[in-house]
Amino acid sequence: MRPILIGAGRGSRLAHMTEQLPKTLVPTMGRPMLDWILEALAEAGYQKRDIVFVCGYRADALRARYPEFTYVENRNWESNNILLSLLCAREYMADGFLSSYTDIIYRGSVVKKLLASPHDKVLACDTDWRRRYRDRTQHPETDGEKLRADGERILELSRTIEADAAQGEFIGVTKFSREGAQELLAAFDATEVRFQGGMDRIYREGRTFQRAYLIDLFQSMIENGSAFHRVDTHGGYMELDTLEDLSFAAKWWSESR
């Protein structure tokens, strides 16, 4: 089960910081965001040679810094979004995989919890997510990939969930067993057939299939009876999407656990 890191985009909201670097290489608390992610994965036993990286913008900078990775290129990164980006690594998904956004920082404990879960489709959830949004003016709670759950089982994933009704925020880190991966790929294929020749038709919540998030496909599967589960971190995670977020990073991290 290899980790697939999804990092094809530029991260335009980081402005000048990504003129020469992909978003994941922007320095955060003294080192690139990606190094923090690699540290978390290392706590769970993964080495750089295990990583599959979906690259796009400024892939040359990534290849030069991390030659040990296996690279898959999203050639259409400017026009698609994170769901289609993940599927660029399809050949590494079928036997089970971890996946992770790469504009985030999180602790290794959550990776260990994902791997220890007996369930086939498991998402990491931050239950202390609202703490970070109190400081943010450029990234409101309405942008959070929130979830509702009954115990460990996820009932709903959506940005439109009211904050008071959410049990937490999906942090962008997942585990799919072999069986879970096969189910995910089948659901993706069926959806892709529906939108064949019409990738710009609306898929979910005003988004086209071309621009779909992971949570769009996950929620479609949940609505069709698929069981998704969660593991929790209470803090121990942050998203770094704007220059404002970078200015808060050290404070957020020192307050998390």
Give the residue among 16, 17, 5 at the shortest CA–CA distance from 102: 5
For 32, what's the count of Cα atoms within 13 Å in the CB-facing half-sphere?
17
The domain segmentation of the chain, as residue ranges, is: 2-247
Average pLDDT over residues 17-23: 92
For 172, what's the count of Cα atoms within 13 Å in the CB-facing half-sphere?
23
Amino acid (1-letter code) at residue 3: P
Q: Is residue 206 exposed (0-12), middle (13-18) or buried (19+ Cβ within 10 Å)?
A: exposed
**Higher local confidence (pLDDT), 70 or 199:** 70
Do residues 212 and 108 make contact, with C-beta atoms less than 8 angstroms apart? no
> Given this model, what pLDDT does residue 11 score?
87
Do residues 87 and 188 make contact, with C-beta atoms less than 8 angstroms apart? yes
Which are the contacts of 152, defined by CB distance < 8 A and separation ≥ 6? 119, 229, 230, 231
Question: What's the rounded Cα separation, in Å, for the pair 239 and 100?
Answer: 12
- Average pLDDT over the chain, rounded to an integer: 95
pLDDT tens for each residue of 178-224: 999 999 999 999 999 999 877 789 999 999 999 999 999 999 999 99
Strand partners, 52: 4, 70
pLDDT tens for each residue of 102-140: 999 999 999 999 999 999 999 999 999 999 999 899 989
pLDDT tens for each residue of 243-257: 999 999 999 999 887
Question: What's the rounded Cα separation, in Å, for the pair 203 and 187?
Answer: 14
> Given this model, what pLDDT does residue 200 score?
84
> Given this model, what pLDDT does residue 199 score?
78
Residue 3 has pLDDT above 90, yes or no: yes
Question: What is the share, in percent, of the chain residues with pLDDT greater than 90?
Answer: 91
Question: What's the rounded Cα separation, in Å, for the pair 147 and 214?
Answer: 13
Average pLDDT over residues 223-227: 97
Strand-pair category, 27-28 with 31-32 = antiparallel
Overall fold of domain 2-247: Spore Coat Polysaccharide Biosynthesis Protein SpsA; Chain A (3.90.550)
Both structure tokens of 84: 């289609």
pLDDT tens for each residue of 189-199: 999 999 987 77
